[in-house]
C-alpha cells in the first residue's frame, strides 16, 4: 500500500516537473537571461548552463539513490539489517568526488570572472555614465556631451564601458539580455562593460531594493546600427521641430516653463548644455536634501527630445498621448510614491492644472523631437 | 542542605513571593525547567510561523497576477521585510532553540541545562523582543527596508519614521536572547554530559547544537555591533552608514553578511542534527560515518566565516575578491555533499519504516540537495550577476530553509512529539501533512527558479503583463496555499492528539539515544539515575547488547527498559526553584528598547527593571531554604 502511495507521489512529481519544464525555456520573454545578445551575457549564460548540467547529473544520482533506497529497503520483515557504521574508503571517495567536480566548475568560472570584469581598452569603447536616482536612470555620454534618461542608446558591435554610480540609495543596473547586474552605490564608482551584437530594444530594470517605487524603476536600451547611432547622436544635438505660436503645443510650452522646468530640463540639445545639466541636477539634489519633506525641487529626468522616447514613467508605459496625460494628471495612477507627485506644486490644490492644460503639456512634450525624425528608425519594434 | 546554600547571604527584599507551586500561570512565568522553556519556545515561535506564513500568503496573493493592486507598495515592502525577519529570527532560530532546550539535557543525561535561570532569560527576552518588533504593525509603520536593512534605504535620511528603528532594536534585543542561549548550551554540552559520554559518543543532534551555539556566540555580536551603529544613525545622528555625510553603505553589507552567512548555518545545522537522529532510528542502522558527519558539520561551521561576500558579488568588489569568495563558497559544497552521501548510505541496506518523521527527513535530503545544487550555481559569480536579487535566489534559499530547515523541524516535531507531550500524533494525518506540504512546497518554489532566470527581480510588488511571469507566479501562489493547508493539517493533528490522548510509551520508535530511556513525557528531574554511557547510541546498545558482538538477524528481547518513576524519592533530587527575575529582565530590556524610540522615561523604567532583576537574581538562593525539610 505504501509503495503505491510512493508511486503516486513519484508520478505527481514527474508530472509537476514536466509542466514546469514547459513553463521555462521562454527566451522570447523581455528579460530572459537565456536570450543573450552580447558576449557578457553569453559568458554568464554558458557558465550557468555548464554548472547546471553538472548539477543535473548530481541531482539525478542523489535523487535517484533516494528513490531507489526508499523502494528497495523499505521494511519487509522484522529482520535487522547489517549494522554498518561506516567505510573509510567510501567516505574518502565521496569527499574527493565533489572536490573534483568543484575544480571542474571553478576553472572556467575564474576565467569567466576575469573575462567579464576586467575592463576593455577605453580607446575603442564608448564610455557612459549611468546614475541611479530614486526612481529613474540618468545616462550621460561624456565624450559626446549628451544626457538623457531612462533610455540608453548604443551602437552594435562596440564595447561599452558603463561607469555606474548612484545619487541616493542603492540601485542596480541590469540589462538581462546584454549583461548581468552591477549595483549602483553612492560614494562608489562601479564599472561594467558589455557589447551588444544585434540592434534592437532591450529591457533593463533596477534589481536592488531602493524603496517604494523599486518595482517600477525600469529602462530601455536601444541598440542601433553604427549609422543609426550616429543619426541618433546628431538628433540629440538638433533642436526640436518649431511649434507655431498659439497652438496647443505652444500653450503647453508656456505651462511647462512655468510648472515643470525647475526640475526637468528639456533643451540639452544646445551647445554647452551638458555641463549645465550636470550642475542643475546637482543643485536640485542639494535643494531637495535641505528639506526632503517639503522641497519643491527634486532631481528629475532630463526630457530633451522626450517625444522620441519609447516609454514614459521610467520604462513603465508606452510613450503615447494617452499615457502622458494620465502620468501628468496623476502619477499615482501609474506608479505610487513618485517624487513628482510628492513635491511638484501642481499637485497642491491651489495650483492644480486644468484638464486642458494637462493635455497641452502632453502635446508639447510629445512634440519634442528633431524635425526629420531619424531617431524613430528603431520604432518599428 | 545548608552546605550547598552556604552562609546566609544578602537578598534584596522581594516584592512578590517566590513562586513555589508546580502548576498554573505563575509556575509557567517562573519556571526554569528546560522542558517547559522548550515548550514555550515552541509555542511562541509556532505562532510567529503562522504570522510569517500569513505575510507570505499576502505577498503571494499580490503577485498571483500581473499588475495586481490588492496590496499597496508600502504594505508590500513591510510584508516582505517582516516575513524574512520573522522566519529567520522568530521562527527557525527559536524553533531550533525549542529542540535544543527539550533535547540537549535529555540526550546528554543531565537534569537541566548549566544555567537554568539564564535559559529562562533567553526565553523571555526572545518573547518580548518578538513582541517589540511586531508592535510596529500597530503603530502603522512596520519595518520596510528588507530583512537585510541595506542602507542608505534604511537610514533615517531615506526612511524616516520608526519602522526600521523597531526592526534594528528588535534584532538587538533578540540577539541578547540568542547569545545567552548559545553560551548556555556550550557550557551545558561541555560540562554536563553523563559519565562516559565522551564528545565522540554524543548524539549528532547534540553535536550540531554545540557547533550552532558556537556560531551563535560568535556571529550574533557582529549583528549587535551593526545594530548599535544603525541605531546610532537612526536615533542619535551618527553617520556610520549615512552616505550623504560620507558614511559607507558597503560597510553595512560586509558586517551584516559576516553575521548573515554563519547565520545560514545557524539555521540549517540543527536541522541536519534532527535528520541525523531520525534516519538511523527508522532505518534500524547506525548513522553511516558518524565521525565524517560530525566533522563535516564542524567544517561547514568554520568555513561559513569565509564566504560572506558571495552575497555581494554585484556590489563591485572587483575580480580578485570575487574570485576568492567564489572559490571559498564552492569549497563548502564538499562537506555538504559528504553529509548527503552519508545520510544516503545510512538508508542504504536499511530496514526503512516510513513514518511521518522519516518521510520529512527523506524529503529534507531530497529538497536540501536541490537547494545545495542551486547554491553551487550561485557560487559561479559571473552567472550570479544574472541571478543576484532575482527570484532564482528566492527559490534557492527557500529550498534550503523551507525544504531544509522547516522540513527537518516538522520531522523532529513528529519524531519527538510523544516525548514532549506523552501523546502520539496521528500518522495518517501526518503522512497527509507531508504529502501536501511536499507538493505545495515544490509548486511554490520550483517555478521561482525560472522566474529568476527569466529576469524577475525580488522585492517588486508588481510586474507588467508582457514580462511572461504570470503562469509561474500563479503556480507559486497556489503552492503557497497548499503549504498553508498542510500546516493546518498539522495543527488539527495536534488537537486530535490532545483529545484522543493516545498514550505514548517511553520509547515508541525503538530509538537509540538517551532521551528514549525515560518515560514520556519525562519527569521534571529527567533521569532517576544519571546513566553511565558506554557507546554512541547508548540506549540502543543497552537494549540490544548482542549487537555489539556481531550482526545478528534478530534482536533478542530488549535488555533495558524505560526508567520506572513510581518509587522515586524526589526530595533526594536537587533542582533549582522557580524565579521570576529572568522575566523581569526580559520585560525590562524590551521596555528600554521601546524607550529608545519613544521616551527616556521608558528607558529608565526598563533599565530599573533590568537592574532590579539582575540584582534580585544574583542574590536569590538557588533553593529557598525552607523548601528542604529533610
Beta-carbon separation of A81 and B553 below 8 A: no
Residue B414: in which H helix or E strand, if any? helix B407-421
Q: What is the mean pLDDT of residues B312-340?
A: 95
Is the link from the previous residue into A135 a cis peptide, with omega within 30 of 0? yes
| pLDDT tens track for B478-497 | 999 999 999 999 999 999 99
Spell out a b/e string for B423-438, using b for 16 or more CB atoms within 10 Å of the CB, else e: bbbbeebbbbbbbbbb
Q: Would you call A12 exposed, middle or buried from its count of C-beta atoms within 10 A (0-12, 13-18, 19+)? A: middle
Q: Quote the minimal CA–CA distance from B468 to chain A in Å.
A: 6
Q: Is the pLDDT of residue A380 over 60?
A: no
Could you give the CA distance from residue A87 to residue B298 in angstroms, rounded to a whole number? 20
Beta-carbon separation of B158 and A13 below 8 A: no
Beta-carbon separation of A114 and B547 below 8 A: no
Q: What is the mean pLDDT of residues B298-314?
A: 95
Q: Is the pLDDT of residue B556 over 90?
A: no
* Spans of all domains in chain A: 2-15+30-74+86-117, 122-381
Count, residues in chain A: 381
Q: What is residue B568's predicted lDDT score, i.e. its pLDDT?
A: 84
For residue B24, name the pLDDT band (cuts at 50, 70, 90): confident
Beta-carbon separation of A180 and B388 below 8 A: yes
Q: Quote the minimal CA–CA distance from A259 to chain B in Å.
A: 26
From the list A23, A90, A117, the residue facing B447 with the nearest CB is: A23
Beta-carbon separation of A51 and B340 below 8 A: no
Q: Is the pLDDT of residue B18 over 90?
A: no
Q: What is residue B630's predicted lDDT score, i.e. its pLDDT?
A: 42
Q: Is the pLDDT of residue B2 over 70?
A: no
Say which CATH architecture domain A122-381 belongs to: Sandwich (2.60)
Cβ–Cβ < 8 Å for B269, B300: yes
Beta-carbon separation of B314 and A98 below 8 A: no
> What is the three-class DSSP state of A146?
strand
Within 8 A by CB and 6+ apart from B142, the residues are B78, B81, B82, B136, B163, B166
Q: What is the mean pLDDT of residues B98-127?
A: 96
Q: Is the pLDDT of residue A18 over 90?
A: no
Q: Which of B339, B385, B456, B547 to substitute to test the interface with A, most A CBs within 10 Å?
A: B385
For residue A28, name the pLDDT band (cuts at 50, 70, 90): confident
Q: What is residue B168's predicted lDDT score, i.e. its pLDDT?
A: 96
Question: B70 in a domain, yes or no?
Answer: yes
Spell out a b/e string for B491-528, using b for 16 or more CB atoms within 10 Å of the CB, else e: eebbeebeeeeeebebbbbbbbbbbbbbbbbbebbbbb
Beta-carbon separation of B450 and A191 below 8 A: no
Q: What is the mean pLDDT of residues A365-375?
A: 79
Give the CA angle between residues B46, B51, B52 to the nearest 5°.
95
From the list B72, B292, B370, the residue facing A336 with the nearest CB is: B72
Q: Is the pLDDT of residue B4 over 80?
A: no
For residue B569, name the pLDDT band (cuts at 50, 70, 90): confident
Q: What is residue A184's predicted lDDT score, i.e. its pLDDT?
A: 97
Query: Which chain B residues are within 8 Å of A213, Cβ to Cβ?
Result: 73
What are the two backbone dihedrals, phi and then psi, of residue B445, each rounded to the nearest 5 degrees? -100, -25
Least confident of A18-27, A126-135, A233-242, A286-295: A18-27
CATH number of domain containing B251: 1.20.210.10
Residue A127: in which H helix or E strand, if any? strand A125-133
In chain A, residues 75-134 whose CB comes closer than 8 Å to chain B: 75-87, 90-91, 94-95, 97-99, 101-102, 105-106, 109-110, 112-118, 134
Q: The C-alpha cell of B265 is what?
A: 548555518
Q: What is residue A21's predicted lDDT score, i.e. its pLDDT?
A: 62
Beta-carbon separation of A172 and B330 below 8 A: no
Could you give the CA distance from residue B514 to residue B509 in angstroms, rounded to a whole number? 13
Within 8 A by CB and 6+ apart from B89, the residues are B130, B170, B171, B174
Question: B568 in a domain, yes or no?
Answer: no
Q: What is residue B119's predicted lDDT score, i.e. its pLDDT?
A: 96
The residue whose grid cell reads 554610480 is A165
Q: What is residue A379's predicted lDDT score, i.e. its pLDDT?
A: 47
| pLDDT tens track for B207-264 | 999 999 999 999 999 999 999 999 999 999 999 999 988 889 999 999 999 999 999 9
Q: What is the mean pLDDT of residues B166-182?
A: 96
Closest chain B residue by Cα to residue A105: B380
| pLDDT tens track for A31-71 | 999 999 999 999 999 999 999 999 999 999 999 999 999 99
The residue whose grid cell reads 503571494 is B60
Q: Is the pLDDT of residue B203 over 50?
A: yes
| pLDDT tens track for B64-97 | 999 999 999 999 999 999 999 999 999 999 999 9
Question: B335 in a domain, yes or no?
Answer: yes
Q: What is residue B214's predicted lDDT score, i.e. its pLDDT?
A: 97
Beta-carbon separation of B382 and A84 below 8 A: no
Question: B19 in a domain, yes or no?
Answer: no
CA B475 to chain centre: 29
Q: What percent of chain A has pLDDT over 70?
A: 91
Q: Is the pLDDT of residue B595 over 80?
A: yes
Beta-carbon separation of A170 and B153 below 8 A: yes
Q: Is the pLDDT of residue A13 over 80?
A: no
Q: What is the CATH number of domain A2-15+30-74+86-117?
A: 1.10.287.90
Q: Is the pLDDT of residue A198 over 50?
A: yes
What are the two backbone dihedrals, phi and then psi, of residue B508, each rounded to the nearest 5 degrees? -70, -20
Q: Which domain holds residue B97?
A: 38-550
Q: What is residue B246's predicted lDDT score, i.e. its pLDDT?
A: 87
Average pLDDT taken over every residue of chain A: 90
Could you give the CA distance from residue B108 to residue B461 in angstroms, rounded to a whole number? 48
Q: What is residue B150's predicted lDDT score, i.e. its pLDDT?
A: 95
Cβ–Cβ < 8 Å for B156, B171: no
From the list B373, B462, B554, the residue facing A78 with the nearest CB is: B554
- Decide which of B561 and B442 is more confident: B442
Q: What is residue A20's predicted lDDT score, i.e. its pLDDT?
A: 60
The residue whose grid cell reads 550577476 is B385
Question: B9 in a domain, yes or no?
Answer: no
Q: What is residue A24's predicted lDDT score, i.e. its pLDDT?
A: 57
Query: Which chain B residues are within 8 Å of A28, Cβ to Cβ?
Result: 468
Q: What is residue A46's predicted lDDT score, i.e. its pLDDT?
A: 95
Q: Which of B322, B455, B556 to substitute to test the interface with A, most A CBs within 10 Å?
A: B455
Instruction: Decide if A42 touches B, using CB distance below 8 A.
Output: no
Q: What percent of chain A has pLDDT over 90?
A: 80
Question: B195 in a domain, yes or no?
Answer: yes
Beta-carbon separation of B315 and A106 below 8 A: no
- How many Cβ pairs closer than 8 A exist between chain A and B? 323
Q: Count the domains in chain B.
A: 1
Cβ–Cβ < 8 Å for A309, A376: no
Beta-carbon separation of B73 and A337 below 8 A: yes
Could you give the CA distance from residue A332 to residue B73 in angstroms, rounded to a whole number? 11
From the list B314, B331, B377, the residue facing A48 with the nearest CB is: B377
Q: Quote the minimal CA–CA distance from A247 to chain B in Å.
A: 36
Query: Which chain B residues are within 8 Å of A74, Cβ to Cβ?
Result: 351-354
Q: Is the pLDDT of residue B399 over 80?
A: yes
Average pLDDT taken over every residue of chain B: 93
Q: Quote the minimal CA–CA distance from B276 to chain A in Å.
A: 13
Beta-carbon separation of A168 and B152 below 8 A: yes
Residue A378: in which H helix or E strand, if any? none
Q: What is residue B560's predicted lDDT score, i.e. its pLDDT?
A: 86
Amino acid at each position: 500500500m505504501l509503495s503505491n502511495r510512493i508511486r503516486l507521489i513519484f508520478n505527481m512529481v514527474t508530472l509537476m516537473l514536466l509542466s514546469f519544464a514547459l513553463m521555462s525555456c521562454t527566451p522570447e520573454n523581455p528579460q530572459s537571461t537565456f536570450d543573450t545578445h552580447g558576449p557578457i551575457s553569453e559568458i554568464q549564460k554558458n557558465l550557468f548552463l555548464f554548472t547546471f548540467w553538472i548539477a543535473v547529473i548530481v541531482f539525478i544520482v542523489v535523487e535517484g539513490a533516494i528513490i531507489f533506497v526508499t523502494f528497495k529497503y523499505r521494511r519487509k520483515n522484522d529482520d535487522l539489517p547489517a549494522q554498518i557504521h561506516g567505510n573509510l574508503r567510501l567516505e574518502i571517495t565521496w569527499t574527493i568526488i565533489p572536490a573534483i567536480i568543484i575544480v571542474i566548475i571553478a576553472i572556467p568560472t575564474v576565467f569567466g570572472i576575469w573575462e567579464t570584469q576586467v575592463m576593455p581598452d577605453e580607446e575603442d569603447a564608448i564610455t557612459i555614465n549611468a546614475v541611479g536616482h530614486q526612481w529613474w536612470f540618468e545616462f550621460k555620454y561624456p565624450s559626446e556631451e549628451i544626457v538623457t534618461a531612462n533610455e540608453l542608446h548604443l551602437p552594435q558591435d562596440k564595447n561599452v564601458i558603463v561607469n555606474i554610480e548612484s545619487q541616493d540609495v542603492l540601485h542596480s543596473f541590469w540589462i538581462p539580455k546584454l549583461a548581468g547586474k552591477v549595483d549602483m552605490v553612492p560614494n562608489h564608482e562601479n564599472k561594467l562593460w558589455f557589447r551588444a551584437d544585434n540592434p534592437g530594444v532591450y529591457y533593463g530594470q533596477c534589481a536592488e531594493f531602493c524603496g517604494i517605487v523599486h518595482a517600477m524603476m525600469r529602462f530601455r536600451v536601444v541598440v542601433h546600427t553604427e549609422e543609426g547611432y550616429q543619426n541618433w547622436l546628431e538628433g540629440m544635438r538638433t533642436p526640436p521641430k518649431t511649434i507655431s505660436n498659439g497652438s496647443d503645443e505652444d500653450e503647453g510650452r508656456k505651462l511647462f516653463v512655468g510648472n515643470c522646468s525647475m526640475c526637468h530640463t528639456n533643451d540639452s540639445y544646445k551647445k554647452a548644455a551638458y555641463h549645465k545639466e550636470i550642475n542643475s541636477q546637482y543643485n536640485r539634489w542639494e535643494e531637495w536634501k535641505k528639506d526632503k519633506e517639503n522641497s519643491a525641487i527634486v532631481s528629475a529626468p532630463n526630457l530633451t527630445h522626450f517625444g522620441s522616447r519609447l516609454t514614459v514613467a521610467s520604462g513603465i508605459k508606452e510613450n503615447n498621448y494617452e499615457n502622458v496625460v494620465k502620468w501628468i494628471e496623476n502619477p499615482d495612477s501609474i506608479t505610487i510614491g513618485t517624487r513628482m507627485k510628492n513635491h511638484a506644486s501642481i499637485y497642491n490644490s491651489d495650483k492644480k492644472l486644468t484638464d486642458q492644460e494637462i493635455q497641452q503639456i502632453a502635446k508639447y512634450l510629445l512634440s519634442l523631437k528633431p524635425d526629420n525624425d531619424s531617431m524613430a528608425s528603431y520604432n518599428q519594434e | 542542605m545548608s552546605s550547598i546554600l552556604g552562609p546566609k547571604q544578602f537578598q534584596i527584599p522581594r516584592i512578590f513571593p517566590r513562586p513555589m507551586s508546580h502548576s498554573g500561570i505563575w509556575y509557567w512565568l517562573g519556571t526554569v525547567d528546560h522542558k517547559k522553556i522548550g515548550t514555550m519556545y515552541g509555542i511562541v515561535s509556532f505562532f510567529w510561523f503562522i504570522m510569517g506564513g500569513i505575510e507570505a500568503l499576502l505577498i503571494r496573493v499580490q503577485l498571483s497576477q500581473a499588475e495586481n493592486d490588492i496590496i499597496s507598495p508600502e504594505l508590500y515592502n513591510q510584508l516582505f521585510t517582516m516575513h524574512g525577519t520573522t522566519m529567520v529570527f522568530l521562527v527557525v532560530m527559536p524553533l531550533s532553540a525549542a529542540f535544543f532546550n527539550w533535547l540537549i539535557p535529555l540526550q546528554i543525561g543531565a537534569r537541566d541545562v548549566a544555567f537554568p535561570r539564564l535559559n529562562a532569560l533567553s526565553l523571555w527576552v526572545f518573547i518580548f523582543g518578538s513582541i517589540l518588533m511586531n508592535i510596529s504593525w500597530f503603530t502603522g509603520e512596520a519595518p520596510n527596508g528588507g530583512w537585510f536593512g541595506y542602507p542608505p534605504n534604511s537610514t533615517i535620511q531615506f526612511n524616516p519614521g520608526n519602522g526600521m528603528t523597531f526592526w534594528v532594536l528588535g534584532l538587538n534585543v533578540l540577539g541578547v536572547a540568542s547569545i545567552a542561549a548559545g553560551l548556555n548550551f556550550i557550557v551545558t554540552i561541555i560540562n554536563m554530559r553523563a559519565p562516559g559520554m565522551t564528545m565522540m559518543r554524543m548524539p549528532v543532534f547534540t553535536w550540531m547544537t554545540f557547533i550552532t551555539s558556537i556560531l551563535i556566540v560568535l556571529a550574533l555580536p557582529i549583528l549587535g555591533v551593526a545594530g548599535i551603529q544603525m541605531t546610532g544613525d537612526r536615533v542619535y545622528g551618527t553617520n556610520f552608514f549615512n552616505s550623504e555625510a560620507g558614511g559607507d553603505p558597503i560597510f553595512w553589507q560586509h558586517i551584516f553578511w559576516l553575521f548573515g552567512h554563519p547565520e545560514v548555518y545557524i539555521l540549517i545545522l540543527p536541522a541536519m542534527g534532527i535528520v541525523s537522529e531520525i534516519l538511523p532510528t527508522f532505518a534500524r542502522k547506525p548513522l553511516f560515518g558518524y565521525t565524517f558527519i560530525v566533522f563535516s558539520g564542524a567544517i561547514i561551521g568554520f568555513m561559513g566565516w569565509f564566504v560572506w561576500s558571495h552575497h555581494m558579488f554585484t556590489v563591485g568588489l572587483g575580480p580578485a575578491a570575487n574570485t576568492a569568495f567564489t572559490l571559498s563558497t564552492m569549497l563548502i559544497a564538499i562537506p555538504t555533499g559528504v553529509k548527503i552521501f552519508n545520510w544516503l548510505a545510512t538508508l542504504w541496506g536499511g530496514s526503512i519504516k516510513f513514518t511521518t518523521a522519516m518521510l520529512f527527513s527523506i524529503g529534507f535530503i531530497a529538497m536540501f540537495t536541490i537547494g545545495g545544487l542551486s547554491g553551487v550555481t550561485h557560487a559561479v559569480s559571473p552567472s550570479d550577476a544574472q541571478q543576484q536579487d532575482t527570484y532564482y535566489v528566492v527559490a534557492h534559499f527557500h529550498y534550503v530553509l523551507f525544504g531544509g530547515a522547516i522540513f527537518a523541524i516538522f520531522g523532529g516535531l513528529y519524531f519527538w512529539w510523544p516525548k514532549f507531550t506523552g501523546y502520539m500524533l496521528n500518522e495518517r494525518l501526518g503522512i497527509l501533512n507531508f504529502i501536501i506540504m511536499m507538493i505545495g512546497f515544490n509548486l511554490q518554489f520550483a517555478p521561482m527558479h525560472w522566474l529568476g532566470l527569466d529576469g524577475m527581480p525580488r522585492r517588486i510588488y508588481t510586474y507588467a503583463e508582457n514580462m511572461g511571469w504570470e503562469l509561474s507566479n500563479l503556480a507559486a501562489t497556489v503552492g503557497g496555499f497548499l503549504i498553508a493547508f498542510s500546516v493546518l493539517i498539522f495543527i488539527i493533528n495536534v488537537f486530535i492528539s490532545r483529545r484522543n490522548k493516545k498514550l505514548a510509551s517511553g520509547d515508541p520508535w525503538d530509538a537509540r539515544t538517551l532521551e528514549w530511556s525515560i518515560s514520556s513525557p519525562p519527569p521534571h528531574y529527567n533521569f532517576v539515575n544519571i546513566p553511565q554511557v558506554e557507546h554512541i547510541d547508548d540506549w540502543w546498545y543497552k537494549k540490544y547488547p548482542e549487537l555489539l558482538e556481531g550482526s545478528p538477524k534478530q534482536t533478542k528481547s530488549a535488555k533495558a527498559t524505560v526508567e520506572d518513576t513510581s518509587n522515586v524519592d524526589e526530595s533526594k533530587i536537587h533542582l533549582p526553584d522557580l524565579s521570576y527575575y529572568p522575566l523581569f529582565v526580559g520585560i525590562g530590556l524590551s521596555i528600554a528598547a521601546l524607550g529608545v524610540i519613544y521616551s527616556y522615561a521608558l528607558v529608565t523604567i526598563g533599565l530599573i527593571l533590568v537592574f532590579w532583576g539582575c540584582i534580585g537574581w544574583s542574590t536569590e538562593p538557588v533553593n529557598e531554604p525552607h523548601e528542604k525539610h529533610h
